[in-house]
Structure 1
Amino acid sequence: MLYGVSYYPEYQPFDRLEQDVEMMRAAGINYARLADSIWTLCEPAEGQVDVSWLGPVLDALHAAGIKVVLCTPTYAIPAWFAKRYPDSMNRRLDGTPLPYGDRQNVDFTDPTYRRLTERLIRALLDAYAQHPALVGVQVDNETGGRPIATPRAFAEFVRRLEEKFGDVETVNEVWGLNYWSHRLGSFDELWAPVGNTNPGYDLEWRRYQADLVAEFLDWQARIVREYLRPDQFVTHDVVGAHGLPHADRKKIGDVVDIAAENTPHHTQDHLAHPPVGGHATYHDPDGVHGAYQLYIRGDMARASGHQNFLVTEMNPISVGGAGHTYTAYDGQWRLAAYTCISRGANAVAYWHWHSLHYGNETYSHGILNHDLEANRCYDEVARTGHELQRVGDRLTDLAPAAEVAFLYSPDSRYAMVSQPALSEPGSMRPDRRSYERIFNAFYRAYFDERAQIAVTHEVPDLAGHPVAVVPALYIADDATLDALVGYAEDGGHLVLSFRSGYADTFARARWERAPGRLRAAVGAGYNLYSNVERPIAVRADGDADLTLPADAAATAWMDELVLEGATPLVHYDHHTFHRFPAVVTHEVGRGRVTYVGTLPNAPLGREVARWVLDAAGVERAGTGLPEPVRVNRATTAGGEVLTFVSNFGHEPLEVPSPTAGTDLLSGDPVTDGQVLALDPWDVRIIDARA
């Protein structure tokens, strides 16, 4: 188990390498990530490459037993590069160049940029690839925040369109360019993306941007692999949960050896379960609060294509900025670390070691504050580090349990940026993050009901899970829809949300009664739908085994479902829409399809999830325990089961142990049903290997 920090000795106000390394060693830290922004230090003027200053840092870390992941310092360019090569700078969609002074403002497809970054990468790896401290290399950093919109990138986009579609007449057909007289006579008539309003074009542009990110990282990874030993790895840090707008985490996962996740999260009361709400932040535009923010990030990280992953950035004192400093309560740093590990993290690292004394991120604090002294954050990090020194090997390569599989659709996410299904709450503005909002609402429903979840991008991965949830699969081909029906016919319980099956892979609304090819399996259809301005009360149908809380409600959207064989579970309690069911279920082959035609609020979502899980015969760990207590299980590399019992609340609790074994962290024996004392924000790990 790697446990550590991002370390920037080049940002310290004075040389304190020896003291920093000693404090890390004393805290049980065994990992450091270095060098993501050192281009100008290694090459202060073009061609003057000298990376020797980094050697003493690696040597000192190695002497303390600290392993290193070295970054390729390619996401922040020197000032001399921007001044000498202005044509290499990225451009906004309107064609104006991005100015210098920020980061990630260069066109990473540019030949000059590629030539100079390759020289720097090779210089670093020539010097340090075989250093005994080095266990891996991170290629670039959080790539995909901006589209590449230079004339070169647009010309390549047009070339790929021609390659994909063959002729302009096909583009005219699939994008529907008779509309508004947009019909093209040749590919060179295609307009720039800044003026685009066509959803088919927008979808292809966003796919293209995600491809550029993956291709850029693959280009770097292929260079790096020329130098690495078989025991060293290549990684890239994806921004947590849904990721950056112009990146596809699955495509990135396919070009690296192990996925990495940056996981900033809410703290204090906003880490509690049940969630207490709160404001959105720059790292959480969807406003996901509570315990499930950690679980969804871990489950999304595994969806990158690898069972296990690295957490490369996590909250130290605080993450955000001068007006967003919410230092964690005692216990929250430790609880967050073990929660990530329980979902398959093979590394937990904090961003970053010390708070910076200058620059844009002065108040995105490290473990040490600006005084560079130990504090209660350091003390808690050290407590966890000492525990992991003892039991970290036991927690490495865990396989988290999962009864429910969620299917993730990047194409549907992209399409709902162009044509959002929802409005922003309390306004008429389109919610460009409609897909994320729908996905998160369904994930929370099953998390609240104590299901353990796996996220996947592939329909075949749903097999073996008794329940599969498919939120807002707006963009899908016929084969995908047929495969989902096949999952249900083979005995699975398929849960679909509104907007599923509505459009084809070109973002064209299907010309058949919705939900299209899913209609027969759903046992209901609709040809009208409506946004919902205010929550609508709902009622359970008389024969349905549901007990809806008084505050259960339909929000944001409703399909006017007409039954065609399905059984209604929930109806709208509304003067006009009362005749339409909000949730229906239908037996299909050896399984079942349940369709949710609205965006459920948390109470409605949880009760529907309970019904689905009960109908599928899924037993949930921790049922009957107090709400702040979450129980989840994972299997060790040796095949034994670990049970994590966590208290996401500020009150101490006593709960019966859900299993027998040994308390991994204390070494004490535990019997089944024995009372476990949980401090606020505490975690116990029960090892079934007696």
Structure 2
Amino acid sequence: MKTFTPSKFLYGACYYHEYNQVPRLDKDFELMEEGGLSVLRVGESVWSLWEPSDGVFNLEWLQPILDKAEKQGISIIIGTPTYAIPPWLASKHPELIAQRKAGQPIAYGHRQNVDYSNPLFLTYAERVIRKIVERYKDHPSIIGWQVDNEPGLELFHNPHAFAEFKEYVKAKYKTIENLNHEWGLVYWSHQISNWEDIWLPEGNTDPTYDLDWRTFQSQLTTKYIGWQADIVREIVPAKHFVTTCIDLGRVGSDDNEISKKLDLTSVNVYYSPQDGLMHPQPEKIQGGTPWTARHSGPGLVYLLANMARGLKQENFLVTETNATMLGHPPNSGMFPPYPGQLEQVAVALISRGAEMVEYWHWHTIPFGHESYWGGILGHNLQPGRTYESFKEISATLSKLGPRALGLTPVSEVAMLISAQSRWAMEFQPALRTEASGAPLGDKESYRKFLNTFSDLFYTSDLHVQFFAEDQLPSDPAELVRTHPVFCIPGYYIANEDVLKYAVEYARAGGHLIVTPRTGYANPKGTINTDVMPGVMREALGVHYNEFSHLTMPLGVKGFKENNAGATHWVDGLIIDDATVLATYDHPFFKDFPAVTTKEFGRGRATYIGTLPNYELSKGISHWVRSLITKRELPQSDSQSVRTNSAITKDGKTLHFIFNWGWDKARVKLPFAATSLRNDSKVKGFELDAWSFEVIEQE
């Protein structure tokens, strides 16, 4: 793998001149130059333009765009077009269309509808990839290549994929007797006597089968992205990087494993704008949040950025993010950001390690499925408020200069992330939701655990660095030195060695924080039969025998915050030798503590037995902060003001202070500092609505 270090911050958009009904290359590049754009992604969505019929290639259409970019000093990332297959390929080989159930192919007319594990598809994909890469590999504007786009949208039920899955199962379990035992197939008379008896996944109800199925499917995606990356690397100059555009948490992907195949991480960051960026969040936003976000609040931007940086424990690129409204179709998200919000989000991403921000996209398209997904220019292609915001962000980047690159975000909290736990909670959801007034399992359960506990720390300006199991330092004491808090939220599919690691982390002096569902099942997907929390019981000083969903929030007493509450879930904690910090205000649940803590070794272990609301999160996180750090931060009485910090390449500390709300807010500094926005000494300042400041601590 190669390391790519940009010489300047990359700022731009995805550009599709081929979608214009009237040519306007000169006008677009004039506006790009005026707006300070420095990078474009091109070419990834138009296989039918690259290869209009089988074996007939049209490779020259991109040349004028790249030449124009070179003339203006704009860098180019070219995408391979394999995620949207042309009609001629679908017609010639209908067997390549992905099946969501056996024998039920996806009707043609969308994208990402091909089974990319099929060797025949790979033959066609390799042909077009090689043609494009060979044609443009030496163009001086190019800095990198994006292979495919947002992989992992589908789980393939095609016959050859299911046959491969059975071979995967044979290789893993060796004997039918072992498979019957490990999957628990005595239940409901599911024991098999022949490998061919393994049933189709769409009829499966066994969680262990499903975990193997999801693992297998994720490996198909990882293998596919690695295969494309290897083809491109074979052809292009060594200075070019290879990446893909990751939409975090897709059903067919393990993002950490995909990232191992790439030179650097690139992600999409879509969020809820307008009131969806307020902090704290309103109790209820009418009509919900845009469907792309699944969550709201500025903490979501930080969650996604921190997840992105955690994929390789390195800084990352943002290949797509909101320019304005998000529509798929028009009733799903017509929320153009308020003035100032685009700039806030761009700077927030930079503060957490982004070294490129690209908007999707330059033009708002007048046709097709995404015609209401807004770009920097609207349908009339005239510069408007979004374009002016784009220019303002470019001016801010100029002021930040090289200090915007190579930042190391300050992260007090290490947080474990688990693709297997996400898959398990999608199959057997831990939490409940409603659809048409009826309760059902919430397939977003694992995301809600991550959102809730990431937001908990965000309320007190504590920030998170994510780690997968295989990324944790070998010595828990090393993690204590770098991260005084280690939180393990919703770690349902739990490796016992990782749980023991967490215990040793607390013993070595760290603050371990555990939540519901952590440790409840093993890596096979079967339930642990120990008294929970199993191997962590001694460190935590509690145990439980039962748990409950909540039909309504419960009040919680113990922290000073009014309206502190519990949501979704209660673990029925029983005290061994821990200290109770908070209890439920309820006739029955009052007998179970909500939050406990215990000093253990040189550190402590805390159990949060519910999903806390904002006020309870604030109480817990303020308490956590009081135990771990004396680091001084900018201060404000306004709840809408949040701060995070980063270390520059030359060791200076930058503080990024945001006002996520409408009311002006005063900020006081407990140290001498210089504003990087106006190059002046500051002791305090006022933040307008939806604004920010970046200061360098002296």
Q: State the TM-score, normalized to the length of structure 1.
A: 0.95
Question: Residue type matched to 1:263 in 2?
Answer: V
The 3 A distance-change label for structure 1 pair 199 and 620 is: farther
**In structure 2, what residue type is equivalent to 1:635?**
I
Gaps in structure 2 of 5+ consecutive residues: 1-8, 474-478
CA contact (8 A) 2:272 2:289 kept: no
* Deviation (angstroms), 1:182: 0.5
> Which residue of 1 is the match for residue 485 of structure 2?
467
Tell me if structure 1 keeps the 8 A contact 2:634–2:668: no
Distance, in Å, in 2 between the alignment partners of 1:481 and 1:118 is 43
3-state SS in 1 of match to 2:77: strand
Partner of 1:116: 124
Distance in 1 between residues matched to 2:664 and 2:584, nearest whole Å: 40
Partner of 2:253: 247
CA distance, structure 2, for counterparts of residue 212 and residue 622 of structure 1:
47
CA deviation profile, 1:416-446 (whole Å, cap 9, x unmatched): 1121121116752111111111221111111
Residue 440 of structure 1 aligns with which residue?
Answer: 451
Contact 1:657/1:670, CA 8 A, preserved across alignment = no
Matched, 1:266 2:272: yes
Amino acid across the alignment from 1:516 = G
C-alpha distance in 2 between matches for 1:91 and 1:589: 53
Aligned CA distance change for structure 1 residues 596 and 653 (closer, same or farther; 3 Å): closer
* 1:620 CA drift (Å): 6.4
**SS at the partner of 1:237?**
coil
Query: Quick one: which of 382, 387, 409 aligns to 2:391?
Result: 382
Matches of 1:235 and 1:469 in 2, distance apart?
30
Q: Equivalents in 2 of 1:51, 1:659: separation in Å?
A: 58
Deviation at 1:390, TM superposition (A): 4.6
Query: Contact 1:645 / 1:684 at 8 angstroms: preserved in 2?
Result: yes
Query: 2 CA distance for matches of 1:265 and 1:498?
Result: 27
Change in 2 beyond 3 A, CA 1:620/1:94: farther
Q: Is the alpha carbon distance of 1:680 and 1:624 closer, same or farther for their aligned partners in structure 2, counting shifts above 3 Å?
A: closer
Q: Deviations over 1:256-297 (max 9, x none)?
A: 111111112111122111122431332123xx2121121111
Q: How does 1:156-305 map to 2 (within 5 A)?
A: 156-240=164-248, 243-276=249-282, 277-278=284-285, 279-285=288-294, 288-305=295-312
Kept in 2: contact 1:523–1:566 (CA 8 A): yes
Aligned residues: 676
Structure 1 residues 216-225 or 161-170, which shifts more?
Answer: 161-170
| 1:660 partner SS | strand
CA contact (8 A) 1:69 1:134 kept: yes
Q: Distance in 2 between matches of 1:648 and 1:143?
A: 33
Pick which of 309-318 and 352-361 moved more.
309-318
1:686 aligns with 2:698: no
Residues 1:454 and 2:460 aligned together: no
571 and 688 in structure 1: CA distance in 2 versus 1, 3 angstrom threshold: closer
- SS in structure 1 opposite 2:518? coil
Provide Cα deviations, 1:371-414, integer angstroms capped at 9, x if missing partner: 11111110110121133245342201211001111111111111
Residue matched to 2:606:
594
Query: What's the offset of the Cα at 1:518?
Result: 1.4
2:582 paired residue number: 570
Describe the superposition over 1:78-106 as per-residue Cα deviations: whole angstroms up to 9, x where unpaired: 00000000111111124301111000111
The equivalent residue for 2:20 is 12
Q: Deviations over 1:626-657 (max 9, x none)?
A: 21111111111222221112111123333224
Q: Structure 1 424/373 Cα, relative in aligned 2: closer, same or farther at 3 Å?
A: same
Seen in structure 2, the aligned counterparts of structure 1 residues 427 and 594 have a Cα distance that, compared at 3 Å, is farther
Secondary structure of residue in 2 paired with 1:238: coil
Instruction: Give 1:332 deviation, angstroms.
Output: 1.0
SS in 1 for 2:106: coil
In the TM superposition, what whole-angstrom CA distance separates every residue of 1:184-231 from its partner, at most 9, and x where no partner exists? 112211001000000001111111111111111000000111123232
Look up the equivalent residue of 1:573 and give its one-letter code.
D
Q: Which moved more, 1:596-605 or 1:500-509?
A: 596-605
Whole-angstrom CA distance in 2 between matches of 1:200 and 1:138: 34
Q: Which residue number corresponds to residue 3 of structure 2?
A: none
Give distance in 2, aligned partners of 1:620 and 1:658: 7
The structural deviation recorded for 1:107 is 0.6
Matched, 1:58 2:70: no
For residues 533 and 498 of structure 2, the distance between their equivalents in structure 1, rounded to whole angstroms, comes to 14
For structure 1, which segment, 91-100 or 75-84, has the greater mean C-alpha deviation from structure 2 after superposition? 91-100
Q: Which residue of 2 aligns with 1:428?
A: 439
- Hey, what's the Cα distance between the residues in 2 that align with 1:662 and 1:202? 55
Q: CA deviation at 1:137?
A: 0.4
Provide the secondary structure at the position in 1 that maps to 2:382: coil
CA deviation after TM superposition for structure 1 residue 618, in Å: 5.6
- Does the C-alpha gap of structure 1 residues 506 and 624 become closer, same or farther in structure 2, counting only changes over 3 Å? same
8 Å CA contact 2:676–2:696 kept in 1: the answer is yes
Corresponding residue number in structure 2 for 1:311 = 318
Partner residue of 1:328? Answer: 337
Secondary structure of residue in 2 paired with 1:560: strand
Q: 1:395 aligns to what? A: 404
1:525 aligns with 2:525: no
- C-alpha separation between the residues in 2 aligned to 1:187 and 1:590? 52
Distance 1:623 1:206, change over 3 A: farther
Question: 1:259–1:306: 8 Å Cα contact kept in structure 2?
Answer: no
| Residues 634 and 669, structure 2, Cα contact 8 Å, conserved in 1 | no
The equivalent residue for 1:76 is 84
- Give ranges in structure 1 of 5+ residues lacking alignment: 541-545
Q: Which residue of structure 1 lines up, in the alignment, with residue 524 of structure 2? A: 506
What is the aligned partner in structure 2 of residue 410 from structure 1?
419
Amino acid across the alignment from 2:535: R
Determine if contact 2:635/2:668 at 8 Å carries over to the other structure: no
| 625, 628, 643: which one aligns with 1:631 | 643
Amino acid at match of 1:636: T
Distance 1:577 1:376, change over 3 A: closer
How many Å separate the matches in 2 of 1:625 and 1:118? Answer: 58
SS in 1 for 2:319: strand
CA gap of 1:306–1:521, structure 2 versus 1, over 3 A, is closer
SS of 2:78 mapped into structure 1: strand
SS of the residue 2:235 aligns to: coil
Q: For 1:127-142, list aligned pairs within 5 A.
A: 127-142=135-150
Task: Compute the RMSD of aligned alpha carbons.
Answer: 1.6
Greater shift after overlay, 23-32 or 258-267? 258-267
Whichever residue aligns with residue 586 of structure 1, its letter is K
- Whether 2:655 is the aligned partner of 1:643: answer yes
Rounded Cα–Cα distance in structure 1 between residues aligned with 2:454 and 2:68: 44
Moved more, 121-130 or 453-462: 453-462
- Within 2, Cα distance between the matches of 1:269 and 1:421? 29
CA deviation after TM superposition for structure 1 residue 537, in Å: 1.9
| Kept in 2: contact 1:659–1:686 (CA 8 A) | no
Check 1:610–1:80 CA distance in 2 against 1; reply closer, same or farther (3 A cut): same
In 1, are the aligned partners of 2:66 and 2:141 still within 8 Å (CA)? yes
Q: Report the 3-state secondary structure (helix = DSSP H, G, I; strand = E; otherwise coil) of the residue aligned with 1:141.
A: coil
Q: Does 1:149 align with 2:161?
A: no
**How big is each residue's C-alpha offset from its partner over 1:513-537, in whole Å with a ceiling of 9 and x where there is no partner?**
1111111211111111111112222
Residues 624 and 15 (structure 1 numbering): CA distance in 2 closer, same or farther, change over 3 Å?
Answer: closer
Match of 1:534 among 544, 547, 552: 552
Q: Tell me if the contact between 1:27 and 1:382 (Cα under 8 Å) persists in the aligned partners.
A: yes
Q: Which moved more, 1:57-66 or 1:422-431?
A: 422-431
Verify the 8 A CA contact 2:637 2:666 in the aligned structure 1. Answer: no
- The equivalent position to 2:673 in structure 1, one of 635, 651, 661, is 661
If the length of structure 2 is used for normalisation, what is the TM-score? Answer: 0.94
